[in-house]
Chains A and B, each alone.
Chain A
């Protein structure tokens, strides 16, 4: 019986559910985990890089972390191909705003624009929803550092710490126990490594298995710095973490 409702994106089931949207959310649960933590002086994003085959060329560039503008980064969980479309859209919207108003687009406005597009695919017929959740990390002069989470339904929320993708519930429960709101960026990065190492199956983390990005302010230049980390920088944090583990 349910088949007559779940094959169309835009039709409610008798229980008032949109099956296609729920299936899209399910698709995200198969993706690697990504998490974000807001600190006093920045935000850290980290993501699990799933190694599918030894033969696959390990790209130096990140697969799940992207620049959106000068003040914004995002982490992806779900279908990367769908994400590319949305990231392209977000970048274009951000640059159009910059061209019109000569200032960076406030984070929430950009997040809302992308979510409006996602929402459209839950309502207009014949198309499937985007199978992507995002974590956006950004800074603007209105509300400072902000972390947003969005999903295929077009909902978004602002968070201090959150995670998306498979295993995200276990990361979230760790976050609830350990998050403090007066940490600095280094402590947040250490926390991110800890959460990842506790939730990923493998016993030792390497730079091939995770991706890292931070957004912070360069106080000397008075400019925001969005950085996706290189592998040696990731190794540095990992080594530091393993050092503290050994001591305790």
Chain B
């Protein structure tokens, strides 16, 4: 019972991940961060099978930083997404595939534009303007459909995110224990309070 949300604005991507760590019917932790920084301008949000998720996220993060170290070069969000997709695709065809779903938020520093990718454990990879993972997509995609526009400012994006949180509180029988929100833009990755 996890939830990942992200929306791309004119020069940033705003992300949110539910902060409860749940096993069965028990909440283990109320401040779980389901995100992994890959490099200065790439942030990966992940959910799925517990254990698989952190392991996979750390594996990708290690490989991306190895690339940075070896070539003194930051991978672009698209290259990062393709690399992650390739790893998922390889894993899918192994004896025990990773069951991880991912949102990848990045800022392409060369072109000066934000990028958001949606990936699932079947190694689907799509570039999207806004995205959800988990049951919350039933409630939040419609809100994004209604309020999204390509030139969103950060304040407008925060407002949409708040609408999503309110809707989830109102309609879902699950307490997510709040959300951890992060912004990826030209200055890198930072956490914000919504």
Contact = CB atoms under 8 A, between A and B. Distances in A.
Nearest to A109: B71
A117 B91 CA distance: 28
A195 B159 CA distance: 67
A101 B71 contact: no
A220 interface: no
B100 interface: no
Interface in A97-119: 99-103, 106, 109
B73 A102 contact: no
B11 interface: no
A1 interface: no
Given A109-B71, A141-B110, A103 B76 contact: yes
Contacts of A99: 86
Contacts of B75: 101
A101 B73 contact: no
A128 to B, nearest CB: 29
A111 to B, nearest CB: 12
A32 B110 CA distance: 41
A142 interface: yes
Contacts, number: 20
Nearest to B85: A102
B79 A101 contact: yes
B78 A102 contact: yes
A221 B73 CA distance: 27
Nearest to A96: B86
Interface string A84-103: 00000000000000011111
Nearest to B125: A102
Interface in A121-167: 141-142
A190 B71 CA distance: 36
B54 interface: no
B56 interface: no
Contacts of B73: 106, 142
Nearest to A102: B82
Contacts of B148: none
Interface in B26-84: 71, 73, 75-76, 78-79, 82-83
B86 A100 contact: yes
Given A106-B71, A106-B73, A101 B110 contact: no
A109 B83 CA distance: 16
Interface residues of B, number: 10
A126 to B, nearest CB: 29
Contact of A100 (B76, B78, B83, B110): B83
Contacts of A109: 71
A194 to B, nearest CB: 37
Nearest to A141: B110
Contacts of B83: 100-101
A109 B68 CA distance: 12
A2 to B, nearest CB: 39
Nearest to B71: A109
A42 to B, nearest CB: 21
Contacts of A141: 110
A167 B172 CA distance: 78
Nearest to A100: B86
20 contacts: A99-B86, A100-B82, A100-B83, A100-B86, A101-B75, A101-B79, A101-B82, A101-B83, A102-B78, A102-B79, A102-B82, A103-B76, A103-B78, A103-B79, A103-B82, A106-B71, A106-B73, A109-B71, A141-B110, A142-B73
Interface of B: 71, 73, 75-76, 78-79, 82-83, 86, 110
Interface of A: 99-103, 106, 109, 141-142
Given A100-B83, A101-B79, A142-B73, 17 more contacts: A99-B86, A100-B82, A100-B86, A101-B75, A101-B82, A101-B83, A102-B78, A102-B79, A102-B82, A103-B76, A103-B78, A103-B79, A103-B82, A106-B71, A106-B73, A109-B71, A141-B110
